[in-house]
Amino acid sequence: SRASDEMGYSLPKRVSQYVFLVPGDSAQSATFLFSSVEIIRLGNSFYIDWDRKMYYPLNDTPAQARTTTLNEELGQIKYIFSDKTGTLTQNIMIFNKCSIDGKSYGDVYDLEGHRVEVTESTPKVDFSYNPLRDSKFSFYDVNLVESVRRDDPPTHKFFRLLALCHTVMPEEKKEGTLVYQAQSPDEGALVTAARNFGFVFRARTPETITVVEMGETVVYKLLAILDFDNVRKRMSVIVQSPKGELTLYCKGADTIVYNLLHPSCGPLKEKTTEHLEEFAGEGLRTLVVAYKDLDEAYFEGWRRRHHEASTALVEREEKLAQLYEEIEADLMEGPGSSGEHRSLLGQDP
């Protein structure tokens, strides 16, 4: 209403007037001035949260000002660069195909064994057995679900890796309804795929990652995160299972991860490369995932050296990069690779 708008507009002004009338020395005045500015910023951030035009009904997501200075930062924007169509786009990634232990999944075949094109009338895989599934996720190759449900070890390891190796944050807006907040659409697509195939990333703390694996809740200790950057072109996590097993999980660009594989992965690498070329030929974005079991004594020594490198005052980045290279060497390509379909839509939420 007009009255509430006027009151909302005048509230920061009245607060600042009150603060400036408070007597005191210069230090007190500076403190009150700082407090009044922060209160005004907080009030302005509420206007962003309450803006109905910034609400995205498709995901039930309102705007959220995560910093009180957002309004000031937006006010400094002078130019917006968009693509050649003149419209801002959504970069939506969809898990489409994967290659696990030398076997490709994602294609659909008819009764005669001929591959058929996926259309809107193509039957989708039934994920109703999974109460934590994402109802918006679609997949068409039933063979992958059957492989998961018969407890195939490489398939389980593949989706366990996808559920653990990421920086996604889960949010439960309603009871039983999970929403993932991902830094990139790639990570969101991979974690959502793992969720539907029975490996549900449930919660994260600075020390743990909780995954519901085929209905059983498993809490992993998060021991280290080897961050992704444009030089490394990969990321890794080191976790410890409830049984005490130490494992490094890695995902990244095929050309990078291939150079880190153990020589024994040669035959599997050749087969996976064939599948990757097929995926890339269809216009899919591809990445390779791998793992490595770690010896506890070696990891403790590496961990001490990692702490020393992370607190070094000289050549910190170079020392960390060298340690990352060391522990990521001789990976096993057991899990496989994946391909994602990119969809660019002409409307931004």
Catalytically active residues, by annotation: 83
Contact call for residues 108 and 101 (beta carbons, < 8 A): no
Cite the DSSP H helix spans in the chain. 2-20, 26-49, 70-75, 142-149, 153-164, 185-196, 254-258, 266-281, 296-310, 316-327
Closest to 193 (Cα-Cα) out of 180, 210, 204, 203: 180
| 123 secondary structure, DSSP code | P
User: Cα-Cα-Cα-Cα dihedral of 301, 305, 306, 310, to 10°?
Assistant: 160
> Residue 185: helix, strand or coil by DSSP?
helix
Phi first, then psi: what are they for 44, rounded to 5°?
-65, -35
Distance CA 290, CA 170 (A): 24
| 166 secondary structure, DSSP code | S
Q: Find where tokens 């269809």 sit.
A: 282
Distance CA 16, CA 299 (A): 56
Distance CA 72, CA 319 (A): 38
